[in-house]
Amino acid sequence: MTTIDRTGYKVIGTRPVRPDGVEKVTGKAQYGADIRLPGLIHGRILRSPHAHARILSIDTSEAETIPGVMGVLTAKELPAADDAIQDLGEGAVNLRELSDNVLALEKVLYRGHAVAAVAATSPHIAEEALKKIRVEYEPLPAVLDVRDAMRDDAPLLKEDRYTKSMGAEKTDRPSNIASHNQFHAGDLEKAFAEADAVVEREFTTKMVHQGYIEPQTSTASWNADGTITIWTSTQGAFVVRAQVAEVLRRPVSSIRVIPMEIGGGFGGKIPIYLDPIAALLSKKSGRPVKITMSRTEVFEATGPTSGTYIKMKMAAKDGVITAAEATMAYEAGAYPGSAVGAGSMTMLAPYNIENFKIDAYDVVVNKPKTSAYRAPGAPAAAFACESVIDELAKKVNADPLEFRLKSSSREGTRMVNGIAFPRIGHEECVEAALNHPHYRAPIEGPNRGRGVASGYWFNGGMQSSVVAAVNPDGTVNLIEGSTDIGGTRASLAMQLAETLGIPYEDIRPSVVDTDSIGHNDVTGGSRTTFASGMAAYESGMDIRRQMAARAAKLWNCTEDEVVYENGTLRCTKDSTKELTFKELAAQQPRTGGPIAGKASLVARGAGGAFATHIVDVEVDVDTGKVTVLRYTAVQDVGTAIHPAYVEGQMQGGVVQGIGWALNEEYYYLEDGRLANSSFLDYRMPTSLDVPNIDTVIVEVPNPGHPYGVRGVGEVPIVPPLAAMANAIAEATGHRFTDLPISPRRIVETLHGLEE
């Protein structure tokens, strides 16, 4: 389904091979752990065995005497960080907490919290040396659940933290509730009193990890001139540079970050963990230092997404949703900064609801500091909202999609924060789902059910910078600074090729380091194809202007008399004068020298994305196994630059969402130990667990982008949690409100075996 005219595009909408594909499938692509440098030594981290403890002393003397050990580090050697919150664009971080999460100074706040580090000539020596470091702890009571942490008598992670509430401190006594926010409009009491149907439920979700296949890794060299070079796996080299600069109190210009190929991130490779440690160990040893996490370290010490508690009440009257009330509490982990803000703003976005109140709480617990995970905050919010909507639809005897369509947001609808939507595509998504053969097909058989759900994600803009240099043979080097996670070398190259009217294969994209291009914000927020794509487009237009000027000079006419069309320049007053892009590229030395287009911008006009999903499941009521029989994901993508990569994003998001719904959870023991910190025990879906995910690309172009691009990477993970729960409710007759809906939970619930 599309509302755009594709006939004008030659490159956009095609499915070429990605420029980095051959190197990746032949094993030649360089990832962070592949770095080999002369004199390279290896770092390892000592981590806390306690979920919450005061550090009384750290004795590293014995470790330092081990032959082969070239440096030992504790937090005391990190420069003192300011207790100040710094601007993150769409987030914020306290510098002291950032530094404290890299190496704990006074207290450890979760099991796995880094307390010391060793660099040695071999990883084994480093590991042996860790065993010789003596840390004396005073164990403290830990709090692991968001609701427990909110209690007045809960152990405090920080004794002087008070709840902030829109710029003011709300409480007069310390609390684990770091912040409270609220959205409120209309008359809830009246709406609930006058409703035809009201549903109220409580929901919980567990902490889950992004599960990227490549662990965090960093290699750092503190050079003789005081500069630092870092090779790392990151979603944003410039953000690594800025964070390392703050933690080490060095100017950003002294730090060069070289982004290696990345083996997945999903939001989890934005924070830094290892880079400052590797840099300081390099300074101490005079050698480059490489540190690569084990999978257990990744689970225990890098940012998962929040566990949540959400209480949700909604009402309907005359077939439309009239009121919504929610209390949302998100675990932030050891330091404030969960994605509850995003969750609270996305929860009701698909619907036009007159009366609402949402209270959102950011709560610290003794678990790793959460970080972004694909549409951060939104999936748990949609799980609650879309589950309740499903029940409401049943209560008023409405088809669940028709019910959603009747209350759908559209252009002009205001979000809970007061912002009016520009042109959006939720109605188109629901209509496409309604008309899809999957939805029209009957679902028959015992213990089978069908579920649907919608979801929203904002998508981001932010800063991007590219340079496009024209080669004499008519190819173009596209120099960019956005990490390529999901095929953005291709999607940017395609937009530049379209702009220049030349073949995609003639664009040679490169992702370069922080010394080699202007600032680029992270690859995240589904922003790269939108924002860096906009920069690629602008750089192409820059080249076109320069080429028109060259042609005008050659043809002795004005630039206004030169037209650029489909990769050919023509003189409007003399039809014999014509040059192809390639011909003019060859004449660069004789017409004024090299041509390079450039664009640096803050991309405005990001278009939000909606998705509506349909899933059929079968539940084995004896074993609790849920089989996904069929799954269809419908999504408004604006314009699909490379449809195959768009479909891949949609399918990947769905599979992660299915894992979140059915199996994935951080399983903590009472003493704060994580019991399933390996892929053997942390159950993620494999290709054997899911059917082919059918995709329906809806194209409602974003008016804020020259080619109508919206972001595509995040919204596909928003609906699956609720869609799965709705399907399981249909199949079993029981409404599950706690994730994961694991085999154990299903069996215990359906057979009355719950404790």
Partner 1 sequence: MPTVWVPSLLRPLCGGATTLQVEGQTLGEVLRAADARCPGFFERVVQDGAVRPELAVAINGQAENYPLHEPVGDSAEVAILPAIGGGGFSNFEPRERRPAGG
Instruction: Report whether 309 contacts 206 (CB < 8 A).
Output: no
The reply on whether position 371 binds partner 1 by CB under 8 A is yes
Among 54, 134, 184, 190, binds partner 1 (CB under 8 A): 184
The reply on whether position 100 binds partner 1 by CB under 8 A is no
Instruction: Report whether 754 contacts 736 (CB < 8 A).
Output: no
The reply on whether position 239 binds partner 1 by CB under 8 A is yes
The reply on whether position 86 binds partner 1 by CB under 8 A is yes
Strand partners, 41: 289
Residue 34: other Cβ atoms inside 10 A: 14
Among 299, 458, 631, 736, binds partner 1 (CB under 8 A): 458
* Residue placing its CB nearer to partner 1 in the complex, 373 or 555: 373
Instruction: Report whether 520 contacts 532 (CB < 8 A).
Output: yes
Instruction: Report whether 653 contacts 719 (CB < 8 A).
Output: no
The reply on whether position 87 binds partner 1 by CB under 8 A is yes
Instruction: Report the nearest approach of partner 1 to the CB of residue 284 (Å).
Output: 12
Instruction: Report the nearest approach of partner 1 to the CB of residue 720 (Å).
Output: 18
CA distance 223 to 282: 9
The reply on whether position 601 binds partner 1 by CB under 8 A is no
CA-based torsion, 94, 98, 99, 105: positive or negative: positive
Tokens of 651: 């399918």
The reply on whether position 279 binds partner 1 by CB under 8 A is no
The reply on whether position 482 binds partner 1 by CB under 8 A is no
Q: Which of the stretches 298-306, 627-635, 656-664, 739-747 binds partner 1 when contact is defined by CB under 8 A?
A: 298-306
CA distance 146 to 360: 12
Strand partners, 569: 564, 579
Residue 294 CA: distances (Å) to CA of 33, 297, 301:
12, 5, 10
609 phi and psi angles, rounded to 5 deg? -120, 140
How many chain residues are in contact with partner 1, going by CB under 8 A? Answer: 82
Within a 13 Å sphere around the CA of 669, how many CA atoms are in the beta-carbon half?
10
* Residue placing its CB nearer to partner 1 in the complex, 329 or 339: 339
Q: Which of the stretches 41-49, 128-136, 456-464, 583-591 binds partner 1 when contact is defined by CB under 8 A?
A: 456-464
Measured in whole angstroms, how far is the alpha carbon of residue 718 from the centre of its chain?
Answer: 12
- Residue recorded with tokens 């949402």: 358
The reply on whether position 308 binds partner 1 by CB under 8 A is no
CA distance 497 to 537: 9
Q: Which of the stretches 78-86, 121-129, 622-630, 690-698 binds partner 1 when contact is defined by CB under 8 A?
A: 78-86
Single out the residue of 744, 701, 693 nearest to residue 719, CA to CA: 693
Q: Which of the stretches 23-31, 332-340, 390-398, 589-597 binds partner 1 when contact is defined by CB under 8 A?
A: 332-340
The reply on whether position 221 binds partner 1 by CB under 8 A is no
Instruction: Report the nearest approach of partner 1 to the CB of residue 348 (Å).
Output: 14
The reply on whether position 91 binds partner 1 by CB under 8 A is yes
Among 6, 36, 134, 604, binds partner 1 (CB under 8 A): 604
What residues numbered 698-737 form the site for partner 1, per CB under 8 A? 714
Q: Are strands 476-480 and 114-120 parallel, antiparallel or unpaired?
A: unpaired
Instruction: Report whether 410 contacts 352 (CB < 8 A).
Output: yes
Tokens of 151: 């209690």
Residue 401 DSSP SS3: helix
What residues numbered 246-265 form the site for partner 1, per CB under 8 A? 246, 248-252, 254
The helix or strand, by DSSP H or E, that contains position 311, with its residue range, turns out to be strand 308-317
What residues numbered 420-439 form the site for partner 1, per CB under 8 A? 420-422
Q: Which of the stretches 133-141, 196-204, 490-498, 525-533 binds partner 1 when contact is defined by CB under 8 A?
A: 525-533
Q: Which of the stretches 18-26, 27-35, 415-423, 426-434 binds partner 1 when contact is defined by CB under 8 A?
A: 415-423
CA distance 149 to 153: 9
Among 141, 226, 286, 703, binds partner 1 (CB under 8 A): 226
* Residue placing its CB nearer to partner 1 in the complex, 15 or 184: 184
The reply on whether position 233 binds partner 1 by CB under 8 A is no
Q: Which of the stretches 231-239, 447-455, 691-699, 746-754 binds partner 1 when contact is defined by CB under 8 A?
A: 231-239
DSSP, residue by residue, 443-475:
--STTEEEEEEEEEE----EEEEEEEEEPTTS-
Among 263, 400, 461, 740, binds partner 1 (CB under 8 A): 461
* Residue placing its CB nearer to partner 1 in the complex, 54 or 604: 604
Among 32, 350, 376, 638, binds partner 1 (CB under 8 A): 376
Q: Are strands 355-364 and 107-108 parallel, antiparallel or unpaired?
A: unpaired
Residue 615 CA: distances (Å) to CA of 380, 441, 695:
18, 12, 12
What residues numbered 107-166 form the site for partner 1, per CB under 8 A? 164-166
Binding mask 645-684 for partner 1 (x = CB under 8 A): ----------------------------------------
The reply on whether position 328 binds partner 1 by CB under 8 A is no
CA-based torsion, 414, 415, 417, 419: positive or negative: negative
Tokens of 184: 């409120």
Q: Which of the stretches 176-184, 393-401, 506-514, 555-563 binds partner 1 when contact is defined by CB under 8 A?
A: 176-184
Residue 472, preceding peptide bond in cis (omega within 30° of 0): no
Instruction: Report whether 74 contacts 125 (CB < 8 A).
Output: no
Among 32, 267, 509, 624, binds partner 1 (CB under 8 A): 267
Q: Which of the stretches 209-217, 412-420, 556-564, 665-673 binds partner 1 when contact is defined by CB under 8 A?
A: 412-420
Q: Provide the 8-state DSSP code for 252.
A: G
The reply on whether position 88 binds partner 1 by CB under 8 A is yes
Q: Which of the stretches 62-70, 519-527, 584-592, 666-674 binds partner 1 when contact is defined by CB under 8 A?
A: 519-527
Residues 5, 6, 7, 13: what is their CA dihedral angle, to the nearest 10 degrees? 180
Among 344, 612, 702, 742, binds partner 1 (CB under 8 A): 344
The reply on whether position 181 binds partner 1 by CB under 8 A is yes
Give the type of residue at 553. Answer: K
* Phi-psi domain of 322 (left: phi exceeds 0; alpha: psi -120 through 50; beta: other): alpha
Instruction: Report the nearest approach of partner 1 to the CB of residue 351 (Å).
Output: 18
Tokens of 369: 């500091």
* Residue placing its CB nearer to partner 1 in the complex, 349 or 393: 349
* Residue placing its CB nearer to partner 1 in the complex, 203 or 373: 373
Instruction: Report the nearest approach of partner 1 to the CB of residue 87 (Å).
Output: 5
